[in-house]
A and B are shown apart, each in its own frame.
Chain A
Amino acid sequence: MDNRADYLKAERSAEWREALRKTMKNKERTAQLRVHMPEAPAQERARSYVEVNSGLTAPIAMKEASRCIDCPDPTCISGCPVNINIPKFVKNIERGEFLEAARTLKETNALPAVCGRVCPQEKQCEANCFYTIKLNAEPVAIGYLERFAADYEQNSGAISIPEVAPANGMKIAVVGSGPAGLAFAGDMAKLGYEVHILEALHEIGGVLKYGIPEFRLPNKMVDVEIESLRKMGVQFETNFIVGKTATIDDLREEGFKGFFVSSGAGLPRFMNIPGENLVGILSSNEYLTRVNLMGASRQGMDTPVMRGKRVAVIGGGNTAMDSVRTALRLGAEKATIIYRRSLEEMPARVEEVKHAQEEGVEFLTLNNPIEYLGDDKGKVKQIRLQKMELGEPDASGRRSPQPVEGSEYLIDADTVVVSVGVSPNPLIPQSLPDLKVSRWGTIEVDPETLQSSIPDIFAGGDIVRGGATVILAMGDGRKAAAGMHQHLQNAR
């Protein structure tokens, strides 16, 4: 920790940083208002897959970067799960060194263009910004700036590839190619390991591809980041289900010395209420995967998706927002979020809720489905809702929902997307009886090294946490890489 603090101090003392700080008084910096992210008009974007946020221009990004006062104690970094040197990349933007800003991001973050789009910065770095803590003002738009630097680099064609140590002859397998797996692979490749990512689906990217829609995170942005890893020597194999295509034992025999399990939480949960098996009721996993990964939004595809006119999405998380906004883009006349708490308690990012509202999504908060009713062909046609009220706060600090007796009523719906969370993928634990798992199917690991109960198996991301943000999964990937590297060096 001391080393990190010394490093940050030394970086802050760089001549260019000192000079830059003197170009503007702090009063002038803090007097500026936070920039607004330019967005595609709500009416247009709600029916297309155009990216909603269109990104900052260079002059606006530089102006926003100048709001940062380059604190001696940069508290923003403590809010970042991968410890990005935030002031350094922001100050590089202020001085116009955009590629250097991108390089700074990549020192600790393998997927900056992704994180700049999907990280909940308002709960992480920006929540710890000097403006938020001390001035009670809007924080520096760190997320927008991260996206700007990463996009700039991608568009410039001058994409920096991190340095890779000489090959050490050790082969490592990564199970799953989501954010945890990609971050792990990047760090291990840098250390000279031969890294093979084994992906069950036909596309690399895991939840970044199948879970997050094109209008929030274009797949091409993910592909560019994957390509960087490929250039670092990481090898990818798709349609490979570890535990089925080959077992961990098979892979050991093939010479793999370590395994990082980042197979995610791909098992949808349902509510177990009557009628949930009716035609037209599906999980958000299925709904989004069909559209994001299987091209179901395009005509003539082999894997179509329900194109309901009255679509109800159950849940209040980011996946629920992604689903309901996808429903609009698939032509729904009415797309509704049904959530049992109020708007304030929703886990979804504030920005996603705002975008959904702008696009015309109806919010039925303090409502909970208790039964689905079907027509004579077994297709859903109505939902029985129960009104809820808020009771005492629970451990999350949110007031808990209580049913209002006698308040049930029916609404029409021809498609219902259930988005009430996911459970860890059970395939790996099922294939390894000695692997310790929790009651909820998450793999139990040492919190410092992320080593599992089987010494050569490490794990991170949703398969360990149950659910986590992209950046936390990436933080796990990095931590596990350090843990496995140490383990393998000790074993030598």
Chain B
Amino acid sequence: MANLSTTYLGLELKNPFIVGSSGLTATYEGIARLAKNGAAAVVLKSIFEEEIQMEFREALKNQLGPQDNNLDFLDYLDYQIKADVLSKTTELIRRVKADFDLKVIASIHCRSVGEWFAYAAKLQEAGADALELNIYRLPSSLEVSAAEIAEGNERIVEKVMKHVRIPVSVKMSAYTTDVAYTAQRYAQLGVKGLVLFNRFYQPDIDLENNRVVGGQVYSNPNDYTWPLRWVSILSPKVALDLAASNGVHTADTALKMLVAGAAAIQVVSSVYKNGPDYLLDLQHGLDRWMDKKGLQDMAALRAYGRAMMPENPELFERVQFMKYFGEV
């Protein structure tokens, strides 16, 4: 049996499978199920800046008394909501750390510097092993350029790095203009890893009922090719641990990511669809293939990948089809 242990963000993981930030990782009970099935780490459900703002707006709408008499009470209630969410998350971290053999990666979703960097320190105090930053915002403003967005994101990263000692990773958008440059910048700022890539909420239109609805929630098994491309391109170029995410539904896909140079794999949709014990199937699939190839451990697997990849390094950088469809 192969040794599946790996290192991600400097953390010793018993296998490469991390359950990504989602409803699966939102509660103690949910995490208990994942731990039982061998999850090496969980990324906790993100603290969403937008959710807090939405709850604040609801509180104002429902609790504001006649003539705004209690506006004093509600004026800064968003801070109370934040404190509440934060205390629930820190309590969850403490309990999970005490009871289960897995690493806990806290996650913050923020779109501005504000006081959010302070949250990172609180999550660290509670015992989080690492922090994942999800800083993407849809660039819908007509006034903000890509350069300004990139600068703003770097400021957030810089701020957080100043306030925590635990390793930090950034969950990137697949739509980033300059993925490689950004990755390099984050590495220079002290970030330890990247998650490639984020999966966004996708609104759709329901033509029958004339309304905007949530679109496809889960990733598709063939979504993996874009992350695979970037894991392949970035792994030899930047000093960052890469976690492949989006479209990893089978052990084979996970193996492709690892061969390409990923340090770890984040799964969500496949666990939602197949249940927490699917994590065991993924581990067994990995183990079987490594046995078949005679690979003892992850170092051997990576060496296998390195030996294979340099033969055609430019393949993953090609974007246009050649003369004949499918020819590479």
List the interface of chain A (C-beta within 8 A of B).
79, 120, 123-124, 127, 265, 269-274, 315-319, 347-348, 368, 370-371, 386, 394-396, 400, 402-403, 405-406, 408, 420-423, 439-440, 462, 465-469, 472
Collect the chain B residues with CB atoms within 8 Å of residue A368's CB: 115
Q: A396-B74, A421-B72 are in contact. Are A468 and B57 (CB under 8 A)?
A: no
- Could you mark each residue 33-77 of chain B with 1 if its beta carbon is under 8 Å from any beta carbon of chain A, else 0? 000000000000000000001001110110111011111111111
A124 lies within 8 A of B67 (CB): yes
Does residue B288 face the partner (Cβ distance < 8 Å to A)? no
Closest to B72 in A: A317
What distance in Å separates the Cβ of A342 from its nearest Cβ neighbour in chain B? 13
| Option from B63, B77, B79, B114 in Cβ contact (under 8 Å) with A272 | B79
A152 to B112, CA, bound (A): 56
What distance in Å separates the Cβ of B125 from its nearest Cβ neighbour in chain A? 11
Q: Which residues of chain B from 67 to 116 have a CB within 8 Å of any chain A CB?
A: 67-77, 79-80, 82-84, 86, 112-115
B73 lies within 8 A of A422 (CB): yes
Collect the chain A residues with CB atoms within 8 Å of residue B61's CB: 395
Does residue B122 face the partner (Cβ distance < 8 Å to A)? yes
B77 lies within 8 A of A421 (CB): yes
B69 lies within 8 A of A319 (CB): no
B115 lies within 8 A of A347 (CB): no
| Option from A317, A347, A395 in Cβ contact (under 8 Å) with B57 | A395
Does residue B152 face the partner (Cβ distance < 8 Å to A)? yes
- Could you mark each residue 121-147 of chain B with 1 if its beta carbon is under 8 Å from any beta carbon of chain A, else 0? 110000000000000000000000000
| Option from B75, B86, B117, B152 in Cβ contact (under 8 Å) with A420 | B75
19 new A-B pairs (CB below 8 Å) besides A317-B75, A405-B113? A120-B69, A270-B83, A272-B122, A318-B72, A319-B72, A386-B114, A394-B60, A395-B64, A396-B60, A396-B68, A403-B112, A403-B113, A406-B152, A420-B75, A420-B79, A423-B80, A440-B80, A465-B65, A467-B72
B68 lies within 8 A of A269 (CB): no
A423 to B83, CA, bound (A): 12
A394 lies within 8 A of B57 (CB): yes
Q: A395-B64, A467-B70, A472-B69 are in contact. Are A272 and B75 (CB under 8 A)?
A: no
Closest to A348 in B: B72
B83 lies within 8 A of A405 (CB): no
A396 lies within 8 A of B65 (CB): no
A396 to B77, CA, bound (A): 13
A370 to B115, CA, bound (A): 5
A271 lies within 8 A of B115 (CB): yes
Q: What would 30 A/B residue contacts be, using CB atoms closer than 8 Å?
A: A120-B67, A123-B67, A124-B67, A269-B76, A270-B79, A271-B79, A271-B115, A272-B79, A274-B118, A274-B163, A317-B72, A317-B75, A318-B72, A319-B72, A370-B115, A395-B58, A395-B60, A396-B60, A396-B74, A420-B79, A421-B76, A423-B80, A439-B84, A440-B80, A462-B73, A466-B74, A467-B73, A468-B69, A469-B69, A469-B70
Closest to B119 in A: A272
Closest to B62 in A: A395
A468 lies within 8 A of B70 (CB): yes
B80 lies within 8 A of A269 (CB): yes
Collect the chain B residues with CB atoms within 8 Å of residue A127's CB: 67
Does residue B155 face the partner (Cβ distance < 8 Å to A)? yes
Closest to A339 in B: B75
Q: A274-B118, A395-B60, A403-B114 are in contact. Are A123 and B68 (CB under 8 A)?
A: yes
Chain B: interface residue count, which band?
A: 35 or more
B115 lies within 8 A of A421 (CB): no
A270 to B86, CA, bound (A): 13
Collect the chain B residues with CB atoms within 8 Å of residue A272's CB: 79, 82-83, 86, 115, 118, 122
- Chain B's interface: helix, strand, loop or mixed, by majority? helix
Collect the chain A residues with CB atoms within 8 Å of residue B72's CB: 317-319, 347-348, 421, 467
A270 to B118, CA, bound (A): 13
Collect the chain B residues with CB atoms within 8 Å of residue A79's CB: 67
Q: A347-B68, A347-B71, A467-B74 are in contact. Are A405 and B112 (CB under 8 A)?
A: yes
What distance in Å separates the Cβ of A444 from its nearest Cβ neighbour in chain B? 13
What distance in Å separates the Cβ of B274 from its nearest Cβ neighbour in chain A? 35
Give the interface centre of A127, A347, A422 by most chain B CB atoms within 10 Å.
A347
A368 to B112, CA, bound (A): 14
Give the interface centre of A120, A405, A462 by most chain B CB atoms within 10 Å.
A405
A270 to B84, CA, bound (A): 12
Minimum-distance CB pairs A-B, first 5: A467-B73, A395-B61, A317-B72, A420-B76, A395-B60
What distance in Å separates the Cβ of A132 from its nearest Cβ neighbour in chain B? 13
Collect the chain B residues with CB atoms within 8 Å of residue A421's CB: 72-77, 79-80
A395 to B84, CA, bound (A): 21
B155 lies within 8 A of A406 (CB): yes
Collect the chain B residues with CB atoms within 8 Å of residue A271's CB: 76, 79, 115
A273 lies within 8 A of B115 (CB): yes
What distance in Å separates the Cβ of B62 from its nearest Cβ neighbour in chain A? 8
Give the interface centre of B70, B83, B112 by most chain A CB atoms within 10 Å.
B70
A466 lies within 8 A of B70 (CB): yes
Give the interface centre of A127, A315, A318, A467 by most chain B CB atoms within 10 Å.
A467
B114 lies within 8 A of A371 (CB): no
Collect the chain A residues with CB atoms within 8 Å of residue B53's CB: 400
Closest to A119 in B: B69
Collect the chain A residues with CB atoms within 8 Å of residue B122's CB: 272
What distance in Å separates the Cβ of A442 from its nearest Cβ neighbour in chain B? 9
Collect the chain B residues with CB atoms within 8 Å of residue A274's CB: 117-118, 121, 163
A439 to B85, CA, bound (A): 12
A192 to B233, CA, bound (A): 85
Q: A405-B112, A405-B152, A421-B75 are in contact. Are A396 and B64 (CB under 8 A)?
A: yes
Collect the chain A residues with CB atoms within 8 Å of residue B112's CB: 402-403, 405
A468 lies within 8 A of B65 (CB): yes
Collect the chain A residues with CB atoms within 8 Å of residue B115's CB: 271-273, 368, 370-371
Collect the chain B residues with CB atoms within 8 Å of residue A319's CB: 72
Give the interface centre of B57, B80, B114 by most chain A CB atoms within 10 Å.
B80
Collect the chain A residues with CB atoms within 8 Å of residue B84's CB: 439
Collect the chain A residues with CB atoms within 8 Å of residue B118's CB: 272-274, 370-371
Collect the chain B residues with CB atoms within 8 Å of residue A316's CB: 75
B113 lies within 8 A of A465 (CB): no
Collect the chain A residues with CB atoms within 8 Å of residue B82's CB: 272
A269 to B87, CA, bound (A): 14
Collect the chain B residues with CB atoms within 8 Å of residue A371's CB: 115, 118
Give the interface centre of B58, B114, B163 by most chain A CB atoms within 10 Å.
B114
Collect the chain B residues with CB atoms within 8 Å of residue A396's CB: 60, 64, 68, 71, 74
What distance in Å separates the Cβ of A487 from its nearest Cβ neighbour in chain B? 25
